[in-house]
Chains A and B, each alone.
Chain A
Amino acid sequence: MNILESRGLYHDFKGLEVLFDVNLQVEEGERHAVIGPNGAGKTTLFNVITGTYHPSRGQVFFKGKEVTGSKPYQMARLGMGRSFQITSTFNRLTAFQNIRLAVLSKKGVRFQLFRKVDKMEDITKETDEILKRINLDRERDMPAGMLSYGKHRSLEISMALGTDPDLVMLDEPTAGMSRDETHYAVELIRRLTEGKTAVIIEHDMDVVFSLADRITVLHYGQILATGPPAEIRQNQAVKDAYLGELEA
């Protein structure tokens, strides 16, 4: 079953077509990578799906329901998590408080004005467990803005997963990371998305071919091909448009 599906999705910025008849299909339980050269419309596709923009035309279906043009908070409540290419955390809050906000959202604690958040044991416990799992327990009380780049990225990714979404959209999770950090991040993503559905935008081909179950190649706003890694590697159109220029 497709957990996420877009049908005939178009998006333009004041006449500049960025997405052109995109039919993306993400199956439940798979890791789906979206690749393509710079400016192919990958992040725009994410923005249209997660609610940053309203698509110009076309429909988005999530868990079988039409969600075209829903707001980000609505998508989050339906069970879609998202991380950002440019690290977007709460920089003056501690790592713990960052994750705790995700946990509060997951538990549906929103307009709670009559209890102290520090006294909510279950929330604290769950947050600490997540910090431990992502190896940030030693930086628990450090402001997010002061974390090292790699750790900061881990926090970014885990916040998207902290709400325990059914589908997580990771926008270039390894952007700007060193080789070691990338390696670590890939293992982290592998571990955290176990049994979940994930859509990942990625530039690093090693990462893509080692993580993804299926790959969609986006080129000038259009889907060039979709399929398992081995098939994509052999695809002539993809080679011409994208992979070829990497190998050359």
Chain B
Amino acid sequence: MMKKKLRWILWVGLIVILALYPRVFGIYYTNFFVTFAVFAVYSVSFNLLLGYTALFSFGHAMFFGVGGYGTALALKHIQGFPLLPAILIGAGSAVVLALILCPIVVRVTGSAFSMLHLAFGQLMYVLALKLRNITGGEDGIGGFPIPPFSIPGIVSIDMKAPENFYYFAVVVLGVSLWIMWFFTKTPFGQIQVGVRDNAMRVDYLGFKVPQTKAVVYVVAGAFAGVAGSIFALFQNLIAADSGFGILVSFGAVINTLVGGLGSFFGPIWGTAIMQILEEVTTRYTDRVELVAGLILILVIMFAPMGFVGGVRILKQKWLAHSAPKVKLEKVS
């Protein structure tokens, strides 16, 4: 009972903080938060594959990029295209890509899966560069109209105002996170972690392993697409490097490993840590990747379960320390 009340208080507190955030921190840190939220959702979708199904993708950016390009192309070429359908087109494009790839990729595991994704990810990157007529090459697609959020006859909110966009992005990304969280709590989510631990046994219990992986794969792709779509709207630009770049793929890996792949919220912590670090680093040097790489090495060496895993261990130690001492009698 107390726990339930506490949880409600936490939820209300979180919503109040999110609502007041733009007024307190100003425009710069509002945009900072939107970037964080985008990459948090993207990293969590990546962790559905890595942490929950043991599928290590080196090309998760392809879904992010396809989501961004899908939304950008729709808005550029279709006059007066509304906002939510534009995001759905982004997510839908990612789903289509996932559906095309999944018959192949659900049948491989381990390093074959990783390398296949490295290849497909780079293929998408090259396509984005080369199909200049469609994708705009290196420059990408920018300056497309940002439609207002509108429910006909009721409201129409201008999305070009950063503060309005912040609220919109927080709601869309928050709902995405909640859906993914719920996904891991369903019976299907249990079968998913079963596949991670022991795919053969899942088969022998009467579940279809490839189909299970395929569903997870499509869901992870869809939400990476949502993140990419919001990112394109936020920047009013999507280009090969920011959409399909190898650093976008590795970003998910680093965020997840730093945050902790053993928990749902780990990648969110990881994204926050890495983004704050990047923010601080850029004040002193341009070599952001160098610092990120060093952090990754330190995490892998000293906290292999990431930030969340480290906190868990500290908590256990603290509990053990504060527990009543039991006197051990000498057995002779």
Contacts and interface: CB of A to CB of B under 8 A. Distances in A.
Size category of the binding interface on chain A: 20 to 34
Contact of A101 (B182, B202, B215): B202
A97 B190 CA distance: 8
B318 interface: no
Contacts of A89: 197-198, 201
Given A112-B187, A116-B186, A71 B207 contact: no
Contacts of B202: 101
A88 B200 contact: yes
Nearest to B202: A101
A164 B198 CA distance: 20
Interface string A75-95: 011000010100011111100
Contacts of B201: 84, 88-90, 159
A90 B189 contact: no
Contacts of B204: 50, 72-73, 76, 82
Interface in A46-105: 50, 71-73, 76-77, 82, 84, 88-93, 97, 100-102, 104-105
B206 A163 contact: yes
Interface of B is mostly: helix
Nearest to A106: B206
A104 B183 contact: no
A168 to B, nearest CB: 11
B185 interface: yes
Nearest to B203: A72
Contact of B206 (A76, A92, A97, A118): A76
B203 A90 contact: no
A128 to B, nearest CB: 16
Contacts of B206: 73, 76-77, 105, 163
B11 interface: no
Contact of B187 (A50, A73, A88, A104): A104
Interface in B153-209: 182-183, 185-191, 193-194, 196-198, 200-209
Contacts of A110: 187-188, 191, 207-208
Contact of B194 (A77, A93, A116): A93
Contacts of A77: 206
A105 B207 contact: yes
A109 B205 CA distance: 12
A105 B182 CA distance: 20
B187 A117 contact: yes
Given A102-B205, A105-B205, A105-B207, A117 B193 contact: no
A30 to B, nearest CB: 22
B205 A91 contact: no
A183 B203 CA distance: 30
A90 B193 contact: yes
A101 B203 contact: no
B233 to A, nearest CB: 28
Contacts of B203: 71-73, 76
Given A73-B206, A159-B205, A90 B185 contact: no
Given A90-B193, A101-B194, A111-B188, 8 more contacts: A73-B203, A77-B206, A90-B198, A93-B193, A105-B205, A110-B187, A110-B191, A113-B188
13 contacts: A71-B203, A72-B200, A76-B205, A88-B200, A91-B197, A91-B198, A93-B194, A101-B191, A102-B205, A109-B187, A113-B188, A117-B186, A123-B187
